[in-house]
Amino acid sequence: MTPAPPPDSPPARATTSLWRTGRLVALLIVAVFTAVYLLTLFDESAPFGGKHLALVRIEGVITDSRETIDELERYAKDPSVLGIVLRIDSPGGAVVPAQEIYETVNRLRADGKKVVVSMGTVAASGGYYIAAASDKIVASPGTMTGSIGVIMEIPNVEGLMKKVGVDSIVIKSGLHKDTGSPFRQMNPEERALLQSVLDDVHQQFIEAVAKGRGLEIVDVTRLADGRVFTGRQAKAAGLVDQLGDLRDAIHAAADLVHIEGEPEVVETQPRFSLKGLLQSKMFGNGVVGFPTGVRLEYRMAF
């Protein structure tokens, strides 16, 4: 049996050193995993405590409101977040998500949160609809905004179907159940029905802008023919409050909530997902897919 080396011998010192190194490595691994776990719980970039602003981004075509509303409501419950800067870079999108976000911004303001919108390259149609609910709108002079209107695009493939020899057989229980079918021409009565739907949704847009901006409905109606404005034109028309960039919007929000000096800004960092990787900015936060059926959109045509 080989006797153990003396405590101060080179082999003993080497064994002790290896044991200490192993313990240090284990502690480092535990620390790394702990840090990663904490980052999954707290993904905001601002420090804990204090009084600061939150930055929420709406980018791309608006097809879903869930993530934006969840983010807004989370900041609404945070007493350290005094105000929210909503960065909009979107040509608009589906009607209902834009309306839902608009109403969420209204609720936040009613609960005492200040909301300032910063317009990016484009904040038109549904993007402007959301902006109209804020306390203040800041746009760059060259921002494309406005486009107060509704659009419905229905593809018609009847000619193609005839060329390839394919017939579409429709069995329906109501006269207008297949209105908007891409497999046949639309008749005048159906067009009139859909036009009445668009007119009503358009009027909802006008009323939302008038309410949010404190304007008369007749004045908004004159601007609500779908035209696009630059940021400078929009300011002259009363649709925008101030010309400036994101930094200007942040400082405008800081002034509203009485934060002195350079404000701290918290922003939720997007988490990796395969769905998010496959989606381009063109499609926003919604589902990428082939458009089917009749869809009403507050969207700038492009």
The catalytic residues are 125, 177
Which residue in this structure is represented by tokens 């011998």? 9
d(CA 239, CA 246): 18
Closest-CA residue to 121 (of 225, 245, 13, 24): 245
How many residues does this entry show for the chain? 302
Is residue 180 within 8 A of residue 155, CB to CB? The reply is no
> Is the C-alpha dihedral spanning 130, 132, 133, 137 positive or negative?
positive
The encoded tokens of residue 45 equal: 């970039």
What φ, ψ does residue 174 adopt, rounded to 5°?
-140, 150
Secondary structure (DSSP) of 260-301: -SSPPEEEBPPPP-HHHHH--GGGTTS------S---EEE--
